[in-house]
Amino acid sequence: MVQLIRDSWARSEPYIADISQFFYGMLFTLAPTTRDFFPINMEIQRGRLVRALVHIVQMVDRPDDLAPFLRQLGRDHRKFGVVPRHYEAVGTALLASLKNHLGPGWTPEVERAWAEAFTIAARAMQDAAASDTNPRSWQATVVEHRRLTWDLALVRLRPDQPVPYHPGQYVSVEVPQRPRLWRYFSPANAPREDGGIEFHVRAIDGGWVSRAIVSHTQPGDVWRLGPPLGRMAVDRESSRGVLMVAGGTGVAPLRAILDHLALWGENPKTRLFYGGPAREDLYDLEELRALAAINPWLTITPVVERGGDVPGFEQGTLAEAVTRYGAWPGHDILVSGSPAMIRATVSRMLVAGSALDQIQYDPFTID
């Protein structure tokens, strides 16, 4: 089943733009209310949903990874008001779009494979959504917006009620400047008694949401937050050692984990490689060094790609810096940053001898 899906998708992928256009036209015909789930300008959406659906379907042969992801995704989609008939419409539209572009390649066997895989995924998501007793989403008021650099902002929010996230997880965010354009961000702090959440947001090229947050967010703005997602975590009871690798604002979820670990006096030895193109990209370095100064189990290693020799800094990419120390046997490895940084670092670590089951990362795009 999985091989049929992958082979047929490989033939379809070059036509993703046409497939996406056909998909949305079919979906909005079958279930007109789904149009309200998406932004007014559909050009921004493009092939995001189709690619996400295909990614899910292609993971059917990896149930240990797919099942928890689908449960989280099902809970997350409650924020849209998704009901079972919407899943049926999405599945029908997806299969119709692929059939329209594959032509003779859409055999009964290929159709059966896609239908079975989508049914498995949709059922898992619906079951998780039905069993969730939490709110569909949370409202949170901006209490501070501070630009750390021209393209980077720190935003603190106070939710109307505590968001039940674990340190290291991320949430989807909708801001008033970009309605219905949900994007993922990671809290940079562990859960607090007052429920406050801190986000670090960098404006990226072409990033409709991130640029709006950095440039236009003001105290008093009301954001909407979706349910927590992601499985990055440190088990302080069982871990013998922890390696963290963070690029840019990817330090946020790891900082939340460190914030949580700092509640205890003893923890597994933890080393954080924190990197970026230049020294000024390591915006959180002094805060991290201050945390390490009072927690002897924590070591911070800054890494820069350019700028010459800087005392106390490793030179090169994060992938290069980390693998200079070998395969890190006996360590739990957490990698966080841009998708490109995650791919490069994980690939190089695997070549260096690290085991795949040592490594945790959340492969989501931030904008």
What pLDDT was estimated at residue 365? 46
Percent of the chain at pLDDT exceeding 70:
95
Give the pLDDT mean for 298-311. Answer: 87
pLDDT at 332: 96
Give Rg (Cα) of the chain: 22
Distance CA 202, CA 327 (A): 31
Give the tens place of pLDDT for each residue, 132-145: 899 999 999 999 99
pLDDT tens profile 312-329: 899 999 999 999 999 999
What is the identity of the amino acid at 165? Y
pLDDT of residue 367: 36
Confidence of residue 48 (pLDDT cuts 50, 70, 90): low
Give the model's pLDDT for residue 363. Answer: 64
Question: Helix, strand, or coil here: 183?
Answer: strand
Q: Report d(CA 197, CA 194) in Å as an integer.
A: 9
Residue 366 has pLDDT above 60, yes or no: no
Residue 5 is predicted with a pLDDT of: 87
Residue 280 clears pLDDT 60, i.e. is over it:
yes
Residue span(s) of the chain under CATH 2.40.30.10 come to: 138-229
pLDDT tens sequence across 105-163? 999 999 999 999 899 889 999 999 999 899 999 999 999 999 999 999 999 999 999 99
Other residues' Cβ atoms within 10 Å of the Cβ of residue 236:
17
Q: What is the mean pLDDT of the chain?
A: 90
List Cβ<8 Å contacts ≥24 apart for 291-299. 291/258, 291/262, 295/261, 295/262, 295/267, 297/261, 297/266, 297/267, 297/268, 297/269, 297/270, 298/258, 298/261, 298/267, 298/270, 298/271, 298/272, 299/269, 299/270, 299/271, 299/272
pLDDT at residue 58 in the model: 65
pLDDT at 45 over 70: no
Q: What is the pTM of this model?
A: 0.84
- Parts of the chain belonging to CATH 3.40.50.80: 241-361
* Res 364 pLDDT > 90: no
Question: Selecting from 3.40.50.2300, 3.20.20.70, 2.40.30.10, 3.40.50.720, what CATH number does the domain 138-229 have?
Answer: 2.40.30.10
- Give residue 14's pLDDT: 85
Q: pLDDT at residue 218 above 90?
A: yes
Question: Which residue ranges does the chain devote to CATH 1.10.490.10?
Answer: 1-131
For 236-278, the pLDDT digits (tens) are 988 889 999 999 999 999 999 999 999 998 999 999 999 999 8
pLDDT(21) > 60: yes
Q: What is the pLDDT, as a whole number, of residue 71? A: 87
- Assigned fold of 241-361: Rossmann fold (3.40.50)
What would be the CATH architecture of the domain defined by 1-131? Orthogonal Bundle (1.10)
Question: Residue 362: what pLDDT?
Answer: 84
Do residues 275 and 303 make contact, with C-beta atoms less than 8 angstroms apart?
yes
